[in-house]
Structures are given as structure tokens and as C-alpha cells.
Amino acid sequence: MIRLLEGVVAGKAPGGLVISVGGVGYHVRTTKKVPTAVGVSLRLFTHLAVRETALDLYGFLTETELEFFELLLTIPKIGPKSALQILDQADVALIVEAVNLQDASHLSKLSGIGNKTAEKIVLTLKDKVAIFKLTNTGATAPATQIYTDAFDTLITLGYNPMSIRQVLDTINDAESTSNLVRLALKELS
């Protein structure tokens, strides 16, 4: 089983990216939170979905996202594509909060999730999400998007992906993409 990929974004592919690892290009289905600029170094935690006609890789930036994705797969009638779609629209912390509050209406607002599926998610996961309260960093989807946008901007300016990642990981108080880019440029210069 392929559990982790470390490589470089070689290009975009339907529903994801092509990650080049040791000269081999892997098609990995990802959420929109994953940086997509060609040449970006990535470390993705992966799930290999085996079907009769295909082997599909799903990649996530954090182990928490991967573990929650796999937890979603335990819900009847939720497959990998649906689970990825859910995580594409909402952060793990928001879904866990909705489950803890038994608020199916919040989940039913997500595209592709009806009332019955939202209720099924809440009922199935209500006793299983306690672990995510302890391990979730509390990062929200907007914060992740700010990081991704800043990373992509700095790549287009010609900076080294590894240097960018090191600098961005040290900045904790950026409220916007432009603010994060400005702070990162001070460190990179």
C-alpha cells in the first residue's frame, strides 16, 4: 500500500495532480487545499482505493485529514470521491464540531450531501470523532487557503519551494495572503 508520497508537482490531472517521485508520475486526487504550482515540493499522506477497474490514490497534506477521510469511508454509501468532496468543502474541525453538536443541518449545506447522508454522518461518527478533538490543530480552511495562495505566489516569484515552506511554517500571525507574502518576503530576502 502507498501511504506517503514525497515529490514534486509535475502537472495537473483530472481531479488532482501528477506528483513526480523518483522519476515516476503518480496521479493523486487531492483537495483544493494542496498547492498546485508545477515544481512545488509536496509531502502527501495517501490512501490507495482499490476497485475492480482502477487503483486510485487520494492525497492529503496532514495525517489528520487522511485519518478523517478513512473514517468517512466507514459510513455506508460514502465512497472515496464523496469523502474527498466533503473534505474539499469543510475542514476536519468544522465537521467534527457539527458531529459533536449533532448538527446534521450544517453538513447538509455541503454540496452533494443531502439530509439523509448528513444524518448518517452524524449518527455513524458521533462516537468516533473524540480522537480528532485531541489531535486536530484547529487550523481552519481559510488559514490553509491563505498558506496555499502565499506559497503559490512565492513560487511564481522564483523562490525555492523548500525555503518557502520553512519560512511560511514560522509565520503564525498572518491574517491575509498579502500579509503572509509580505512577511515571507522579508524573511526570504
pLDDT tens across 126-181, in order?
888 877 653 444 444 445 667 777 877 888 888 877 778 778 878 877 778 888 89
Ordered alpha helix ranges (H), the chain: 63-72, 80-89, 92-100, 104-108, 115-125, 130-135, 141-156, 161-170, 177-188
Query: Residue 6 above 90 pLDDT?
Result: yes
pLDDT of residue 136: 41
Q: Which of 85, 98, 91 is nearest to 129 (CA)?
A: 98
Domain 141-188 fold is: Helicase, Ruva Protein; domain 3 (1.10.8)
How many residues can be counted in the chain?
189
In this predicted structure, the answer to whether residue 123 has a pLDDT above a threshold of 70 is yes
To the question of domain 4-60 being in CATH 2.40.30.10, the answer is: no
- pLDDT tens, position by position, 18-29: 999 999 999 999
Place of cell 508537482: 9
d(Cα 113, Cα 92) in Å, to the nearest integer?
16
29 and 15 Cβ atoms separated by less than 8 Å: yes
Q: What is the pLDDT of residues 86-102, one digit of tens each?
A: 998 888 888 888 898 88
Q: Following DSSP, what letter does each residue of 39-90 receive, concatenated?
A: T-EEEEEEEEEE-SS-EEEEEESSHHHHHHHHHHTTSTT--HHHHHHHHHHS
Q: What is the pLDDT of residue 143?
A: 57
- Dist CA 189 CA 173 (whole Å): 19
Q: Per-domain residue ranges for the chain?
A: 4-60, 63-135, 141-188
Domain topology for 63-135: DNA polymerase; domain 1 (1.10.150)
Given this model, what pLDDT does residue 49 score? Answer: 96
Query: Residue 146's pLDDT is what?
Result: 77
pLDDT at residue 179, as a whole number:
87
Write the pLDDT tens digit of every residue in 30-84.
Answer: 998 888 889 989 999 999 999 999 999 999 998 889 999 999 999 999 999 999 9
Q: Phi and psi for 73 in degrees, rounded to 5?
A: -65, -15
- pLDDT, position 139: 46
